[in-house]
């Protein structure tokens, strides 16, 4: 069995695999790796995640998004958690255009890391902590076992909110949007840049805090909040797949878990190639 690591040393065994109760992956990752070395890991992480979501419902979606953004850049290595000032010349992912003032939840990961270090010092990697937190966020929001395509991953937009700057152009300039829905969004997002930029709107207006298939139903009704969302149902090749998830919520859940597992397995670097960071924001 092996932990996953990265160039900056963030061992990760992608315990998100527990979502599907899967066995070891092609990289010989193990869902039971910490059974002996940190037996209270799962309960420790879950307790902090539950508290964070109870304080702010949106936080569950934010943690899942952290996992997505981390894994899409050279695999799930917790590099997204690094601050820019870890070395004099280091510039990380936090301030990259898709992430700056957008990804959030770093303080929750810090709290989880502190709690885990208290019970298992120097044992659990930051990448595994992020993976477990993402898993628990989904399970807490929708407590069921929930493919490989961008369309499936965007289904996570069934929860969470977006800033006005991310959907302003869509609601004011695009034609493939329901007029009433657009007007509702405009009430909290003025057309003038710099005005209300940080105002929030739910990605799924119907059930913004429930993990369900209403995201896809919204797309069929031309009520996708983001331009990239609505493009999934806009007379193209993905229309039929959107319709399949509208027809069967269980199919969406099954496909979603497969995608999460596969994403958690992106280019794992195993063994002793990394380090267990004491602070997820810095290299040891």
234-282 pLDDT, tens digit each: 887 788 889 999 999 999 999 988 888 877 777 666 677 778 888 988 8
Are the C-beta atoms of residues 168 and 225 closer than 8 Å to each other? no
Residue 24: the pLDDT is: 36
236 labeled part of a ligand binding site:
no
* Stretch 177-192: mean pLDDT: 95
Please indicate if the annotation marks 143 as binding a ligand: yes
227 among known catalytic residues:
no
Instruction: Write the pLDDT tens digit of every residue in 6-37.
Output: 333 333 333 333 333 333 344 567 777 898 99
- Is 157 annotated for ligand binding? yes
Q: Which residue has the tokens 């229309």?
A: 239
Q: Which of 69, 144, 170, 227 is catalytic?
A: 69
Closest of 93, 206, 94, 108 to residue 157, by C-alpha: 206
Domains of the chain, earliest start first = 40-142 (1.10.520.10), 155-259 (1.10.420.10)
Q: What is the pLDDT of residue 246?
A: 96
Check whether 110 is labelled as a binding-site residue.
Answer: no
Among 54, 261, 259, 72, which residue's Cα sits nearest to residue 156? 259
CB-based contact 44:135 (threshold 8 Å): no
At 148, the pLDDT band (50, 70, 90 cuts) reads very low
163 SS3 class? strand
């Amino acid at each position: 069995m092996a932990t996953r690591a990265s160039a900056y040393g963030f061992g990760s065994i992608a315990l998100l695999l527990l979502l599907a109760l899967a066995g070891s992956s092609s990289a010989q990752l193990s869902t039971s790796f910490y059974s002996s070395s940190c037996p209270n890991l799962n309960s420790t992480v879950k307790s902090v995640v539950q508290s964070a979501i109870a304080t702010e419902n949106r936080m569950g979606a934010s943690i899942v998004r952290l996992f997505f953004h981390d894994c899409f850049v050279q695999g799930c290595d917790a590099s997204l958690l690094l601050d820019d000032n870890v070395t004099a010349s280091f510039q990380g992912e936090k301030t990259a255009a898709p992430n700056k003032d957008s990804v959030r939840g770093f303080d929750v990961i810090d709290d989880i890391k502190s709690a885990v270090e208290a019970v298992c010092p120097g044992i659990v990697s930051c990448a595994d902590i992020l993976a477990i937190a993402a898993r628990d966020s989904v399970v807490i929001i929708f407590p069921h076992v929930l493919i490989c395509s961008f369309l499936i991953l965007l289904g996570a937009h069934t929860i969470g909110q977006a800033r006005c700057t991310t959907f302003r152009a869509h609601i004011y300039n695009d034609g493939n949007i329901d007029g009433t829905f657009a007007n509702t969004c405009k009430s909290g997002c003025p057309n003038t840049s710099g005005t209300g930029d940080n105002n929030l709107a739910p990605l799924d207006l119907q059930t913004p805090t429930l993990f369900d298939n209403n995201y896809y139903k919204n797309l069929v009704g031309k009520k996708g909040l983001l331009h990239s969302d609505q493009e999934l149902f806009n007379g193209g090749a993905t229309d039929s797949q959107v319709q399949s998830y509208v027809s069967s919520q269980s199919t969406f859940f099954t496909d979603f878990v497969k995608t999460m597992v596969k994403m958690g397995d992106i280019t794992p670097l195993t063994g002793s190639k990394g380090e267990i960071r004491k602070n997820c924001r810095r290299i040891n």
